[in-house]
Amino acid sequence: MSDNGSKPEKVLIVGGGTAGWMAANLLACKWPGTEICLVESKQIGIIGVGEGSTPHLKLFFDAIGVTDLQWMPRCNATYKNGITFDKWSAVSGFESYFHPFAAQTDDVFTVPLFFRNIQARMQGYDVDAHPDNYFLETYLARQNLGPLPAESFPFGVAYGYHFDSALLGQFLAENAQSKGVTRVYGNVADVIVDNDDRLSAVKLSDGTLLAADFFIDCSGFEALLMQKALKVSYLSFKDNLFNDSAVVMPTTISAVLPVETTATALSNGWAWQIPLRNRFGNGYVYSSDFIDANQAETELRQHLGLLDSDVAARHLKMKVGRVEKHWHKNCLAVGLSQGFIEPLEATAIALSFNTIAQFIDYFQKGKFTNKFEEAFNSDINARFDGIRDYVVCHYKMNQRTDSDYWLANAANNNISATLSKILTLWQHSPDFAADMHKYKLMGSYQPKSWACMLAGYGVFPVKNREPSVDYSFYQQEVEALSDFIRRCGLNFKKHSELLAL
Ligand SMILES: Cc1cc2nc3c(=O)[nH]c(=O)nc-3n(C[C@H](O)[C@H](O)[C@H](O)COP(=O)(O)OP(=O)(O)OC[C@H]3O[C@@H](n4cnc5c(N)ncnc54)[C@H](O)[C@@H]3O)c2cc1C
């Protein structure tokens, strides 16, 4: 039993979406000998829209010993160097910017120059401080080059993936079953909670009882175990993040395969475009307080040039927020059952991976007791809140004035104290990056990411001018950096060549 200091003999995972099968795979690798059973409902199905990831998906596959070559072709997957944000700002010259992932190596050369020029710009000098000119990943994305360099190249490039989430689910299900995980189909009709507020079994609609020592709630927005049975409270992010709906439809893939997600601001939200090997995945994430489902579908069709097409659209509702506790008693919530921040930075899979991997670490460190439950919950909450702040900032600092939606987002003062401090530093600090470290504001995103967004929007609060500095030298350095990046790019293959398409 998990409360008396020994590894659980039996784990029951409720839900067979991406979260459930990720949990099954990781547990099967980390806890050999533990019986793992996953129950899922054929009638309810999975949400199946998550199609973009951060570099955490690579960490997950590394952890379960699966290579890119083994899973990517099966899931129509492509590489992702980052995200282009289009039309989030109406500031001239800043209508679009690219958000690269944080890289360990080349950032050492590029980030200091980027920050120095931002400061110069804030002192009123006309130097280049647009993020697109500073990072190798951005160059690779613009040239449709994949992120895997020639072997002799010294810098690693961080990358994520695009994938068909239904196929990813199938791949993960097969992989987990090959490691001994049992798959059961059935509808959970009841959850049995004992006198000590611990879960003891779930009851399926055909009467079958599935008992276990430990339970993982991967039942999606239903949150059957953690929220419904154990009554763990839920914190809505609705005050910070207005979007609650999405409409989704595919389009034909282009001849040149992009290596980035595009997030284009529309009238009342934003639209993603995600390149897979066989199609683009598209969706419009919007707030139903500002636009209804029919209008949103029409606007998405217009955006995609599909007004006269009969391609079917799928409409979805999103619940944005998180539980107060992700681990409670003998239950862990993973995936949509633990929370969701909306898909803008495609962080849901990263959060699922962090939750499972960190839980395994803490549970083992605490000798399979709940000793570290509180520490774990506060870590995961900090991750959620850090991502929420970064996503909220896209809306709060948007530079559009063309709809009530964008004006309401800019005027929304329901932001966290952390985000408020970060924005104050951007406004006033002479060294934003150093002060982010100094004031311990490093949540889920590095100063580089914050600066890409704020400089990418063209938000440069002008501070005192230092008349003695000759900034022409700075511009020459940007040009030298661009040349260096271009030469680095010679070590990378075209995306389609890398995928052997
Ligand atoms: C519009 C949108 C876009 C998104 N884009 C991204 C993205 O780009 N990147 C990203 O990382 N994430 C994204 N996500 C999130 C991503 O889709 C989810 O995090 C991911 O799919 C995991 O979902 P899940 O497994 O938690 O839930 P689900 O996929 O909903 O799975 C829930 C499972 O529980 C089962 N279940 C429910 N009730 C019962 C019951 N009573 N009995 C038995 N079984 C039951 C279901 O059958 C299913 O198997 C997006 C989400 C939305 C809404």
Give the residue whose CA is nearest to atom 15 of ligand 1: 50
Percent of the chain with pLDDT over 70: 97
* H/E element, 434: helix 432-438
User: What's the first-to-final CA gap in the chain, in angstroms?
Assistant: 50
Average pLDDT, integer, range 239-243: 96
Ligand 1 centroid, distance to 205 Cα (angstroms): 21
Task: Kindly state whether residue 42 falls inside one of the protein's structural domains.
Answer: yes
Give the residue whose CA is nearest to atom 16 of ligand 1: 50
Ligand 1 centroid, distance to 217 Cα (angstroms): 12
Q: Which atom of ligand 1 is nearest to the CA of 283?
A: 1
- As for ligand 1, residues whose beta carbon falls within 6 Å of it are 15-20, 39-41, 44-47, 49-53, 165, 187-188, 218-220, 222, 224, 246, 283, 316, 318, 335-337, 343, 346, 348-349
Q: What is the pLDDT of residue 123?
A: 84
Count of alpha carbons within 13 Å of 257, Cβ hemisphere only? 23
Q: Of the candidates 419, 234, 445, which has an alpha carbon nearest to the alpha carbon of residue 320?
A: 234
Cα dihedral 231, 235, 238, 239 sign? positive
Q: What is the pLDDT of residue 467?
A: 60
Kindly state whether residues 476 and 451 are assigned to the same domain: yes
Ligand 1 centroid, distance to 44 Cα (angstroms): 11
Interatomic CA distance for residues 82 and 101, integer angstroms: 6
Q: What is the pLDDT of residue 150?
A: 93
User: Does residue 282 register a pLDDT over 60?
Assistant: yes
Kindly state whether residues 420 and 489 are assigned to the same domain: yes
Q: What is the pLDDT of residue 91?
A: 96
362-371 pLDDT, tens digit each: 999 999 999 9
CATH assignment at residue 376: 3.50.50.60
> Where do the H-state alpha helices sit in 275-403?
293-304, 348-365, 373-396
Task: Kindly state whether residue 399 falls inside one of the protein's structural domains.
Answer: no
Note whether 246 and 68 are within 8 A (CB): no
Task: Kindly state whether residue 122 falls inside one of the protein's structural domains.
Answer: yes
Q: Which atom of ligand 1 is nearest to the CA of 189?
A: 41
Average pLDDT, integer, range 218-224: 97
Domain final residue pick, 317, 333, 350: 317
Average pLDDT, integer, range 234-246: 97
Q: What is the pLDDT of residue 445?
A: 93
Ligand 1 centroid, distance to 32 Cα (angstroms): 26
Helical packing angle, 417-428 and 373-396, nearest 10°: 50
Tokens standing for residue 143: 């040239």
Ligand 1 centroid, distance to 110 Cα (angstroms): 37
Task: Kindly state whether residue 424 falls inside one of the protein's structural domains.
Answer: yes
Q: Which atom of ligand 1 is nearest to the CA of 351?
A: 11
Q: What is the pLDDT of residue 61?
A: 98
Kindly state whether residues 332 and 293 are assigned to the same domain: no
Note whether 264 and 273 are within 8 A (CB): yes
Q: What is the pLDDT of residue 201?
A: 98
Q: What is the pLDDT of residue 463?
A: 72
Q: Which atom of ligand 1 is nearest to the CA of 337?
A: 26
Task: Kindly state whether residue 95 falls inside one of the protein's structural domains.
Answer: no
Kindly state whether residues 220 and 361 are assigned to the same domain: yes
Interatomic CA distance for residues 86 and 33, integer angstroms: 50
380-404 pLDDT, tens digit each: 999 999 999 999 999 999 999 999 9
Choose between 500 and 241: higher pLDDT. 241
Q: pLDDT-based confidence at 464, cuts 50/70/90? A: low
Task: Domain of residue 284: give its range.
Answer: 245-317
Kindly state whether residues 421 and 468 are assigned to the same domain: yes
Q: What is the pLDDT of residue 371?
A: 97
Kindly state whether residues 106 and 219 are assigned to the same domain: no
Kindly state whether residues 280 and 260 are assigned to the same domain: yes
Q: Whole-number mean pLDDT of the chain?
A: 94
Interatomic CA distance for residues 443 and 426, integer angstroms: 16
Kindly state whether residues 425 and 276 are assigned to the same domain: no
Interatomic CA distance for residues 495 and 146, integer angstroms: 4
Q: What is the pLDDT of residue 1?
A: 45
Burial 180-197 (b: 16+ CB within 10 A, else e): ebebeebebeebebeeee
148-157 pLDDT, tens digit each: 999 999 888 8
Ligand 1 centroid, distance to 340 Cα (angstroms): 10
Kindly state whether residues 325 and 378 are assigned to the same domain: yes
Task: Quote the number of domains for the chain.
Answer: 3
Kindly state whether residues 325 and 442 are assigned to the same domain: no
**Between vectors from CA 346 to CA 381 and to CA 342, what angle results, nearest 5°?**
65
* 3-state secondary structure string across 75-89: HCCEEECEEEEECCE
Q: What is the pLDDT of residue 12?
A: 98
User: Does residue 7 register a pLDDT over 70?
Assistant: yes
Beta bridge partners of 251: 280
Kindly state whether residues 168 and 296 are assigned to the same domain: no
Phi, psi of 250 (to 5 degrees): -90, 160
Task: Kindly state whether residue 311 falls inside one of the protein's structural domains.
Answer: yes
Ligand 1 centroid, distance to 288 Cα (angstroms): 21
Q: What is the pLDDT of residue 192?
A: 98
Identify the DSSP state of 52: B
User: Does residue 174 register a pLDDT over 50?
Assistant: yes
Q: Which atom of ligand 1 is nearest to the CA of 204?
A: 42
User: Does residue 2 register a pLDDT over 80?
Assistant: no
100-150 pLDDT, tens digit each: 998 766 677 788 999 999 998 888 888 899 999 999 999 999 999 999 999
Contacts of 266 (CB under 8 A, 6+ apart): 284, 286, 299, 300, 303
Note whether 144 and 494 are within 8 A (CB): yes
Kindly state whether residues 229 and 293 are assigned to the same domain: no
Note whether 454 and 397 are within 8 A (CB): yes
